[in-house]
Structure 1
Amino acid sequence: MPDGDRFHGLSGLYQKPYRILCEGKLERNECAWMMMEALRKDLNKKGDAAIVIAKGMGELLTQVIKDSSNNESIDFADLSKKLDRLAQQANIPSRTKSLILDAGKSFLNDLRYGQQFNISKISEAVIEGYMQKVYVSEFEGRIPLIPNDHAKVDNLTFTERIEVLRKDMFAQISAWAKKANVDEGVAKLRRNRRSQVKEIDLDEDLL
């Protein structure tokens, strides 16, 4: 890709999927396939330690919920501090720590406000939340910084494509979270089976 076509808010991993999404020449499934590979590589780059910490947070939350069912009240302030300490134990970049901690505390917030959970899948849920936050932070969260002039795509059309893509990505992330929880790592993550690829007319609705 020529330098003039680079999108400086995104890391190199997400440059091509973003361009393809803007251009709208390929079907939805192919856009998702490319984005899944970018995210898979990003998760691998961030490493197994992030998964181990996220799983540890899930195990802590699981134990607290079990204790609370035995008539022990939950001290949410103390639990929040324990999540902080778990995140700080990881020898990983601060940005990755922040994403893991956000996932753990999002779950804690849901717990505080009475949401019910499958107690056997809490670690998996925290890992899934971490992966979702990586996707949103590293891709969607950087899009407003990037001009779309080269693609001439209007904001409404592009927003609709992003929303549809997120559904596909989160479905894949859910499957990855199950695998990563078992493996305590990301090395063996694989994408779902690839759909047949075809180019579409630029005026065709991607949704």
Structure 2
Amino acid sequence: MTKLALIKDLRKKGDAAIVIAKSMGELLAQAILNSGNNKSINYADLNKQIDKLIQKANNITNRTKSILLEATKSIVHDLRYGQQFDIENIPQKIIERYMQKAYISEFEGKIPLISDHHTKVDNLTLTTRMEELRRDIFEQISKWAEKANLDESVAKLRRSRQEPPKDIDLEENLVI
């Protein structure tokens, strides 16, 4: 259910966000290539270029721009502080991070944090369920990002098929 809603939300945000995310990834990959082996990347200039690219995007909403900017800058932050990425996969990583940030802001961010709202569910159970859902969603987002990077579109994103529930044998020991 959540995956379908997320797909609809990504489609509503449009293909332009994917194209911009991909171009930001290419910009970032180019900056890494230009820096060479022993030179450092000028992160101030890179951030300015990213900001300009976002400001030029007139065909996406301000909310989508902010999610896209946050996703891109988080990848830049990760690179700056030592995380390694394959240069060819940076556009896909930015698309993936954009989709993750969209999920967090549009879905997880809407879950009320007051305990009265979650009747008869303690915080530990709620947190555990949210983490399981996040893992499942992020795994699917990784596949979607790869497809969106290739197609430069969110129109053909599909949910993966779920396995049918396993029949329980009445003689089976479920305690194991």
TM-score normalised by L of structure 1: 0.75
Give the TM-score of the pair, scaled to structure 2: 0.87
The alignment status of 1:56 with 2:23, answered yes or no, reads: yes
Matched with 1:204 is none
SS in 2 for 1:92: coil
Equivalence for 1:194: 162
* TM-superposition CA deviations, 1:58-117 (whole Å, max 9, x none): 000000111112544311001001111111121211110000001110011111112211
Distance 2:70 2:106 in 1: 14
Structure with greater contact order relative to length (CA < 8 Å, sep ≥ 6): 1
Runs of 4+ in 1 over 4 A off after TM superposition: 145-148
3-state SS of paired residue (1:144): coil
Report the alpha carbon displacement of residue 194 of structure 1 after superposing the two structures with TM: 2.0
From 52, 59, 71, the counterpart of 1:103: 71
Does the 8 Å CA contact 2:115/2:123 hold for their aligned counterparts?
no
Provide Cα deviations, 1:21-52, integer angstroms capped at 9, x if missing partner.
Answer: xxxxxxxxxxxxx1111100000000001101
- The secondary structure found in structure 1 opposite 2:47 is helix
Instruction: Provide Cα deviations, 1:151-207, integer angstroms capped at 9, x if missing partner.
Output: 432222111100010000000000000000001110000111122259xxxxxxxxx
For 2:16 and 2:113, the matched residues in 1 are separated by: 30
Matches within 5 A, 1:59-98: 59-69=26-36, 71-90=38-57, 91-98=59-66
Q: Which residue of 2 aligns with 1:173?
A: 141
CA distance in 1, matches of 2:18, 2:97: 11
Tell me which of 110, 113, 120 is aligned to 1:142: 110
RMSD between aligned alpha carbons? 1.8
Identical counterparts, % of pairs? 64
Long gaps (5+) in structure 1: 1-33, 199-207
